[in-house]
Amino acid sequence: MPATPTNVPQPSRTDPALIRNFCIIAHIDHGKSTLADRMLQLTGVVEQRQMRAQYLDRMDIERERGITIKSQAVRLPWAPTEGEGQDKTHILNMIDTPGHVDFTYEVSRSLAACEGTILLVDAAQGIEAQTLANLYLAMENDLKIIPVLNKIDLPAAQPEKFSEELANLVGCEPDDVLKVSAKTGMGVEALLDRVVRDIPAPVGVADAPARAMIFDSVYDSYRGVVTYVRVVDGQLNKRERIRMMSTGATHELLEIGTNSPEMLAADGLGVGEVGYLITGVKDVRQSKVGDTITQQNKGAEEPLGGYKDPKPMVFSGLYPLDGSEYPDLREALDKLQLNDAALVYEPETSAALGFGFRVGFLGLLHLDVIRERLEREFGLDLIATAPNVVYRVIMEDGTEHTVTNPSEFPEGKIDQVFEPVVRATILAPSEFIGSIMELCQNRRGVLLGMDYLSEDRVEIRYTLPLAEIVFDFFDQLKSKTRGYASLDYEPTGEQSAQLVKVDILLHGDKVDAFSAVTHKDQAYAYGVRLVAKLRELIPRQAFEVPVQAAIGSRVIARETIRAIRKDVLAKCYGGDISRKRKLLEKQKEGKKRMKMVGSVEVPQEAFIAVLSSDEGQSKKK
């Protein structure tokens, strides 16, 4: 163990030459949080007895799923044990990035706050598609890459094979790939030394107006919004007024400081430093990731580049199972939005499901996480409609509609429909090339290219409609590759496609919750599948109920739920009466949970079964 660092430079008075800002790019389960834990211990910022696993992951869901949703930054003092700068205490700012494709924009802002990154890869698994995508992002940002193989203590580790792979990707020698075990701590000191040696110190103009980039923004119920920034130029000082450059809004700096890893107030933050600030705003949308902060007086004229408004890509209708919980759902969404600038929603009414919200998400994981939090933290029981993407519909008369809910897809003469497309990157063992290409071809994919990462692993790139990915693509990919393939995608624009809306009718009434926009070649299969399923799930009624799938007024599939002919207990004598009355009470309860669609009683279970089968198939991490 190294001695506790001495002469630790203090915030606002740290020489930029001693600062190293870095992040860790890793796939889920490749050991990023464990590595962070070891670094906290080695640098002495967390005492041994306070240590717990995944120290930096705060939300239950993060810890349970082993993924990081919100990032953080920790200031670590480190005096290298050898080489240049030996025994001189440096400041290492470790910026923890979100690990998922849905949060690519947030990842890109975290990367923009760093000069270098640790590329952490499981020595038994090799690099995964998301990691590769983030690696490319880091390279585009001119970050210094330190390739590291983790878990080399595992019996299944193949350090030679994967060193080769990483070396090819990063453009270095296999011997330059560090080998560590975050679990045992082996090699972590050497890694910290490499961070000091290889990652460039930040460069900025100290006497210019302050410019700090927001790379994260977190709502805390006690302190309001905590904003994480990286100072590029100048200095931010406590108690001065600051301005958000995208909106022009000004705030007083109530507190400024660093995390070690708990929040610690300071006098200010100087060039190259990373820390937090608190202004008293109550909503993260007032402190947006990517925005530039400057002083109110004589502030900077030009913001830092790269700011974007988060744009929802996937929509789903969320409805409380019990209609009386609608106000609770609104309140819960309001609360979640405090901490999630990308979450958008507006009220909508479904004839079938009642009052609810159309909610926009960055992607499927975002959807999953929000839904799970609503159910777990707020105790709500929800029905979610199948996720859909945003369509742009141009009518023959030139008018344009933006459709976020399939049931609102316009009727009438449509000229063109545009759907979002993504560039998908799939990494897999080469034996699965055939089945992956078949899957992508079936999902209207266009092959962009293919490269071998190593002898038996390939990177395949496709352009795919986002709608096809939203619908059970990931599960199909996993099952066709026995779980070996990994997927990443990024939005690349839109394309015109032959899309139609399929409506489902019960006894002639449209069930808005089941409307879907599909490619015209897939409409028939969708219609047949849903109609058959509903016939199975809806109990027989007092009258015959036709179940139809239709495109406009053209019926493409039909089933019939025959009228019930017998609903009577044959025997009802003395000893049956109590039982019969209790059965009646139970049936009355069941009836309350029926939703009326026109004159047809549909059990809530039928909605859940139909909607969740789509949703469940597309569930991914």
Partner 1 sequence: MDPMPSVLPDGEPVPSDGALPAHALADAAARPLGFYLHVPYCATRCGYCDFNTYTASELRGPEGALASRDNYADHLIEEIRLARKVLGDDPRPVRTVFVGGGTPTLLPAADLVRVLGALRSEFGLAPDAEVTTEANPESVDPAYLTELREGGFNRISFGMQSARQHVLKVLDRTHTPGRPEACVAEARAAGFAHVNLDLIYGTPGESDDDWRASLEAAIGAGPDHVSAYALIVEEGTQLARRIRRGEVPMTDDDVHADRYLIADELLAAAGFSWYEVSNWATTDAGRCLHNELYWRGADWWGAGPGAHSHVGGVRWWNVKHPGAYAQALVAGRSPGAGRELLSAEDRRVERILLELRLREGVPLSLLRSDGLSAARGFLSEGLLDPGPYDEGRAVLTLRGRLLADGVVRDLVD
- Extended strands (E) in 141-185: 144-150, 178-179
Shortest distance in whole angstroms from residue 589 CB to partner 1: 11
Shortest distance in whole angstroms from residue 74 CB to partner 1: 59
Closer residue to partner 1 (CB): 203 or 584: 584
Q: Name which of 430, 444, 219, 467 is nearest 343 in CA terms.
A: 219
Closer residue to partner 1 (CB): 203 or 572: 572
Closer residue to partner 1 (CB): 205 or 542: 542
Q: Is 509 labelled as part of a ligand binding site?
A: no
Shortest distance in whole angstroms from residue 465 CB to partner 1: 45
* Alpha carbon separation from 43 to 47, 77, 81, 93 (Å, rounded): 10, 6, 12, 12
Q: Is 151 labelled as part of a ligand binding site?
A: yes
Shortest distance in whole angstroms from residue 507 CB to partner 1: 15
Q: Is 152 labelled as part of a ligand binding site?
A: yes
Q: What is the CA radius of gyration of the chain?
A: 28
382, 321 Cβ separation under 8 angstroms: yes
Closer residue to partner 1 (CB): 155 or 574: 574
What SS3 class is residue 103? helix
41, 2 Cβ separation under 8 angstroms: no
328, 375 Cβ separation under 8 angstroms: no
Name 235's bridge partners. none
Shortest distance in whole angstroms from residue 594 CB to partner 1: 11
541 φ, ψ (degrees, to nearest 5): -110, 180
Q: Which residue intervals of 303-390 are DSSP H helices?
A: 326-337, 364-377
Closer residue to partner 1 (CB): 52 or 571: 571
Q: Is 619 labelled as part of a ligand binding site?
A: no
Residue 419 and residue 470: Cα distance in Å, rounded?
A: 12
Exposure of 269 in the CB half-sphere (CA atoms within 13 A) = 33
Residue 110 and residue 74: Cα distance in Å, rounded?
A: 13
Q: Name which of 213, 205, 196 is nearest 87 in CA terms.
A: 196
199, 205 Cβ separation under 8 angstroms: no
Closer residue to partner 1 (CB): 346 or 567: 567
Name 361's bridge partners. 314
Shortest distance in whole angstroms from residue 576 CB to partner 1: 6
Shortest distance in whole angstroms from residue 251 CB to partner 1: 58
Shortest distance in whole angstroms from residue 596 CB to partner 1: 13
Closer residue to partner 1 (CB): 239 or 579: 579
Q: Is 150 labelled as part of a ligand binding site?
A: yes
Name 449's bridge partners. 461
Closer residue to partner 1 (CB): 446 or 563: 563
Number of neighbouring beta carbons within 10 Å of residue 316: 25
Residue 168 and residue 126: Cα distance in Å, rounded?
A: 13
Shortest distance in whole angstroms from residue 527 CB to partner 1: 27
Q: Name which of 47, 43, 46, 45 is nearest 79 in CA terms.
A: 43
Q: What's the N-to-C CA distance of the chain in angstroms?
A: 37
Shortest distance in whole angstroms from residue 563 CB to partner 1: 10
Closer residue to partner 1 (CB): 49 or 566: 566
Closer residue to partner 1 (CB): 397 or 567: 567
Exposure of 494 in the CB half-sphere (CA atoms within 13 A) = 15
Residues sharing a CB contact under 8 Å with residue 400, sequence separation 6 or more, in sequence order:
392, 393, 394
Closer residue to partner 1 (CB): 238 or 580: 580
b/e code 334-352 from CB counts within 10 Å (16+ = b): ebbbbbbbbbbbeebebeb
Q: Is 551 labelled as part of a ligand binding site?
A: no
Closer residue to partner 1 (CB): 308 or 591: 591
Shortest distance in whole angstroms from residue 508 CB to partner 1: 18
Q: Name which of 226, 158, 170, 162 is nearest 198 in CA terms.
A: 170
Closer residue to partner 1 (CB): 1 or 570: 570
Shortest distance in whole angstroms from residue 602 CB to partner 1: 16
Shortest distance in whole angstroms from residue 535 CB to partner 1: 16
Residue 485 and residue 478: Cα distance in Å, rounded?
A: 6
Q: Name which of 129, 130, 135, 128 is nearest 23 in CA terms.
A: 135
Residue ranges binding partner 1 (CB under 8 A): 542, 562, 564-582, 584, 587-588, 591
Helix, strand, coil distribution of the chain in percent, nearest 5: 30, 35, 35
23, 97 Cβ separation under 8 angstroms: yes
Binding residues: 29-34, 150-153
Binding residues for GTP: 29-34, 150-153
